Amino acid sequence: MSLFKSIATFGSFTLVSRITGFVRDMILANFLGAGLISDAFFVSFKLPNLFRSLFAEGAFTSAFVPLFSQKLVSDGKKKSVFFAAQAVSILALFLLFFVLAFEILMPYIVNVLAPGFAGDAGKIELATSLCRITFPFLLFISIVSFQAGILNSFEKFAAPAMAPIILNLTMILSAFVFVPFSKTPAHGFAFAITFAGILEIFWLRYFLRKIDVKIKPYIHPKKILKNPEIKTLFKRIAPGVIGAGIYQINMVVDTILVSLVGTGAISWLYYANRLQQLPLGVVGAAISVALLPILSKQLKAQDLAESKKTQDKAVEYAAILSMPAAVLMIVLAKPMVNILFEHGKFGTLDTLKTSYALMAYAIGLPCYVMVKALMPNFFARGDTVTPVKFSAVVFAVNFAFNILLMYPFGHVGIASATTIAAFVSLFQYLYGLKKRGFWQCSKVLYLKILKIMLISVLMGVAVLCVEHGINQYVGSWLSYGFVVKLFIFGFLGGFGLVCFGVLALIFKVLNLSEINRMFLKRKRA
């Protein structure tokens, strides 16, 4: 499967996931607003996801997928599946004890995670109750991430990309199933999170069976740990855990600091981050997930020329998809937040605060996506140590700028610190790959990226001009009804994309014949 087809497959289903995620967040905003209950809920939502990146999508996946992909090439399917069964068994056993320990210690953990809650009566107790409900999701979603890694190694990207849709739909339905019978709406949504994790396991189990992959528990820890391949896996996981741990500590620090900003700040950053996650999840995650197994196999086969072409294309796709998205998010930040979230308990002030944070996040979006496209080059070579060193620097930069910017700019300062750290991270990956001779950006590719940047800015100016004209003609269009606002927003976004496409053809960033060849190849496949 080509890189373009893999990205398109994963990205298209991820887009559906993000759209259902926005519907979910609209319902959350309607029921929870941005205040005491919503802050407590979002802490409970973040907690299992913090460790999910640490144990599943971070260290484990980045170490496991290259080993499994290379083992498929060298040893065949049967031995690879047995290796996978051993790996997931030891991971699940460890996580089971980890979850039980956290359930017992949860009141202390919440006090550390959100010390700012202590000033609001009942907020710590509510957050503790919700965290105890949601934390088992960590065990279930880690197994899901492992199942997705196997499917991705077989170049089956659709089912894993669709799995998050189950979480979104379950939370949407919980507004009618769990919420009416729960102590608070937040408790109903919390139960839905954990239940969705179980559903996702069965979903991916079905698709694994379709390719005749049956993962049976292998509960022999001593035998597993004697396996030299498992030892290699853990040697690669160890620095990955440290690297992901640094990132997660970064997230924890952000949560601690933003809890001190005041009531509502956690929610404003959550909603802004969710909007940023649309292009980051669709583009960045799609490129990273598709690139890792492809690069691993090319490097295993010593096809260095092809691996360089693959990396070039990944970076080009990252730029051409993320830069216009970032500019549109900046110029249309307030309309996006207004249309999606300003309902029920989510007010005008919440819209303004969230849109400022979104603008700050959006500036760093292309950097995030580029890093997603470059990181697999290290993991595919079995180098999990270098990303750890990069993560440590990013943590230090983010923490320093959090402290510098938090007091003068509040939650927007924290979002800005994250963006500054993203620029530092991108520089490290570009320099690190070049220094090691793994890959470097050619002059042709560098020039193309500069053109994409210029075109994106011109597109943003054009959209602002058209929006100004609409406001001059009809007045403030955000004061109209939902349907009218949605239509005008869709028109502005569509105009921007058409504008970008035309400019890209004029500046020869896009080649119509090449696009036609890719789509024809995809249809034949």
pLDDT of residue 286: 59
Per-residue pLDDT of 479-514, as tens digits, reads 888 888 889 988 998 999 899 989 988 888 876 555
Domain count of the fold of the chain: 2
**DSSP label at 168?**
H
| 401 plus 513 within the same structural domain | no
233 and 143 in a common domain: yes
Enclosing domain of residue 523 = 443-525
452 shares a domain with 413: no
What DSSP string runs through 473-496?
HHS-GGGS-HHHHHHHHHHHHHHH
Where among 392, 420, 441 does a domain terminate?
441
Is residue 299 located within the same domain as residue 418?
yes
Of 402, 420, 441, the last residue of a domain is 441
Helix 228-261 / helix 265-279 crossing angle, nearest 10 deg: 130
Q: How far is CA 332 from CA 217, 354, 355, 478, 484, in A?
A: 49, 12, 9, 11, 16
End-to-end CA distance of the chain: 8
pLDDT mean across residues, the chain: 80
Whether 235 and 201 share a structural domain: yes
pLDDT at 112: 78
The pLDDT assigned to 1 comes to: 46
Range list of β-strands (E), 235-362: none
Residue 108 has pLDDT above 50, yes or no: yes
CA 114 to chain centre: 23
- Shared domain for 109 and 191, answered yes or no, is yes
Query: pLDDT tens-digit profile of 171-230?
Result: 999 988 888 888 888 999 999 999 999 999 999 999 988 888 888 777 766 677 677 777
Confidence of residue 522 (pLDDT cuts 50, 70, 90): very low
Q: 0.75 exceeded by the pTM?
A: no
Q: Is the pLDDT of residue 370 over 80?
A: yes
> 400-407 long-range CB contacts below 8 Å, 24 or more apart?
402/253, 402/254, 402/257, 406/257, 406/260, 406/261
356 and 462 both lie in a single domain: no
Indicate if 432 and 461 belong to the same structural domain: no
Q: Examine the domain organization and report whether 322 and 412 are in the same domain.
A: yes
Q: Are residues 340 and 409 in the same domain?
A: yes
Span 112-132, pLDDT tens digits: 777 767 666 677 888 899 999
For 45-54, how does the pLDDT look when each residue is reduced to its tens digit (9 = 90+)? 878 877 776 6
Are residues 260 and 125 part of one domain?
yes
Reported confidence tier of residue 267, pLDDT bands at 50, 70, 90: confident
In sign, the C-alpha dihedral spanning 400, 403, 404, 406 is positive
Q: Is the pLDDT of residue 477 over 80?
A: yes
Instruction: Tell me, yes or no, whether 380 and 522 share the same domain.
Output: no
Domain boundary among 414, 441, 468: 441
pLDDT (average), residues 380-385 = 75
